[in-house]
Structure 1
Amino acid sequence: MPPESPAPTVVVAAALYDTDERLLAARRSAPPELAGRWELPGGKVEPGETPERALVRELREELGIEAEPLARVPGEWPLKAGYVLRVWRCHLRSGAPRPLQDHDELRWLTADEVWSVDWLDQDVPAVKEVLRDRD
């Protein structure tokens, strides 16, 4: 019997909307191979941390905001080997998002503008599901 492969590291991301129903996108500034491409903001779940707590922590660290995860968007998407992306719809509780780590620009996108940015390849299926989940 082959050895079991370890559980993937979960990367969480936020489908964060403002009061005008625009989706927040973040442009990567690092690492170099991802710089200039756009993603849903978030980060890795640390050992002993729930995905929802990780998302709250990551949004505080990366964007300087307090957010509340509301519901998980159906699905999960493979990233690089050993990583999987899961997305939550989130409510902005306080603060104004600003790029603090790994990003150099943020943009609020209307439904008509969502595909005007160059999303990271691995985020495209997640963004499609976020849009589908809103309908």
Structure 2
Amino acid sequence: MRNQIVVAGALISGASLLVAQRARPPELAGLWELPGGKVALGETDETALARELHEELGVEVSVGARLGADVALNATTTLRAYRVTQTGGTLHPNDHRALRWIGADELDELAWVPADRTWLAELREALG
């Protein structure tokens, strides 16, 4: 069985980061995350992240550098984050309860999905 990779995008505009509030599953509903999703067989991380953000948010992005270290979600699933830049489309929460732009001073105040909390130091640095 292959290790499942899940990718997340840190969409930063100026000094603001886009965060998405999960609608499901029940144990994560209402928590905030960097949006993204699973890498399908045969996809690169970058291709998967661009596809997922288009499906979930309605935007086109260019995928940049990795952000932080990989996070093991369980024995078979690894989460990794990338910086992304919006290149087109209009933001809309197709798969989330809400979207919100936050600054570095708000990072610690959010109720984060536990795995994404791992990247707070790197996100703070990226936001300057």
TM-score by structure 2 length?
Answer: 0.92
Residue matched to 1:50: 44
Moved over 6 A (4+): none
Unmatched runs of 5 consecutive residues or more in structure 2? none
The amino acid across from 2:4 in the alignment is T
Count of residue pairs the alignment pairs up = 128
Unmatched runs of 5 consecutive residues or more in structure 1? 1-5
- What RMSD, in angstroms, separates the aligned Cα atoms of the two structures? 1.5
Q: For the Cα contact (< 8 Å) 1:27–1:105, is it kept in 2?
A: yes
Cα drift, residue 133 of structure 1: 5.1
Separation of aligned partners in 2, 1:105 and 1:57: 19
Residue matched to 1:113: 106
Separation of aligned partners in 2, 1:128 and 1:44: 24
Q: For the Cα contact (< 8 Å) 1:77–1:126, is it kept in 2?
A: no
Greater CA radius of gyration, 1 or 2? Answer: 1
TM-score by structure 1 length?
Answer: 0.87
Amino-acid identity (%): 44
Bigger proportion of residues as strand: 2
Q: For the Cα contact (< 8 Å) 2:68–2:119, is it kept in 1?
A: no
Separation of aligned partners in 1, 2:5 and 2:102: 26
